[in-house]
Amino acid sequence: MDHYRWNASASRPAKPACTFLVPRELEPFLRRRRDDHRWVIVYLTYLLGRSGAYHSQGRLPIVQNVTRKYQADDPSLQRWHVRVPAELWTQLRCLAGACGVTMSHMFVILIRLDKEDQEKPVPSVGASSFGYGLRAVFCEAIYVATGETRRSVRFAVCADPPERLRQILS
């Protein structure tokens, strides 16, 4: 039996350029929340910090497709160009992968959940309402005998941002 194993310590690029596709009707809310948090990446940090609560409330999607679900083809999608710190990029990729959606789609889903919370607060059930990511583990496995793909994600969080993230956010 052949075993394929590798390990890579990826840290570059430190702030990859990305483009989020945001529906036009969400732009005023995103602008307001961006201004509340100073920058889009600080707002993204907040959204990722809320993901544990969203998961425990059963509000994150679980797409059962093998491929990632894209956003609907919508001519109103607006491009938001952002340089996202590598650790936030990876955390968003892990969360999106575990839910079975693209990263841009996950960003929009998190914005919609935050908008719902701003309009009508949802009580926190069983999970802290916010946490900074310390470590994210994403696993995607195929069970060849059944043809089933399984995904999971696990986040280790803390109350205060790690030092590198604190420097980026300040």
Within a domain: residue 2? no
Question: Residue 167 and residue 170: Cα distance in Å, rounded?
Answer: 5
Rounded to 10 degrees, the C-alpha dihedral 137/111/103/13 comes to -80
Is residue 1, in this structure, part of any structural domain at all?
no
Decide if 45 is inside a domain: yes
The domain in which residue 115 lies consists of: 17-169
The reply to whether 32 falls in a domain is yes
Whether 143 is covered by a domain: the verdict is yes
Structure tokens at 131: 């946490």
pLDDT tens-digit profile, the chain (170 residues):
567 777 777 778 888 899 999 999 999 999 999 999 999 999 999 999 888 889 888 999 988 887 777 777 788 899 999 999 888 898 999 999 989 999 999 999 999 999 999 998 766 554 456 777 767 788 888 888 998 888 888 877 777 777 777 776 66
| CA end-to-end span of the chain | 50
**Long-range contacts of the stretch 38-45 (C-beta < 8 A, 24+):** 40/80, 40/82, 41/82, 41/83, 41/84, 41/85, 41/88, 41/168, 41/169, 42/169, 44/82, 44/84, 44/88, 44/92, 44/107, 45/88, 45/132, 45/161, 45/165, 45/169
Which pLDDT does position 13 carry in this prediction? 86
Beta strand segments in the chain, E: 17-23, 77-83, 132-143, 148-158
Retrieve residue 148's tokens. Answer: 């089933």
In a domain, 33, yes or no: yes
The total number of structural domains in the chain stands at 1
- For CA atoms 106, 110, 111, 116, the dihedral sign is positive
pLDDT at site 2: 65
- The answer to whether residue 6 sits within a structural domain is no
CA distance 156 to 128: 12
**Residue 105 burial by Cβ neighbours in a 10 Å radius (0-12, 13-18, 19+):** buried
Shortest CA distance to 133 belongs to which of 102, 156, 116, 150? 156
**Is 46 domain-assigned?**
yes
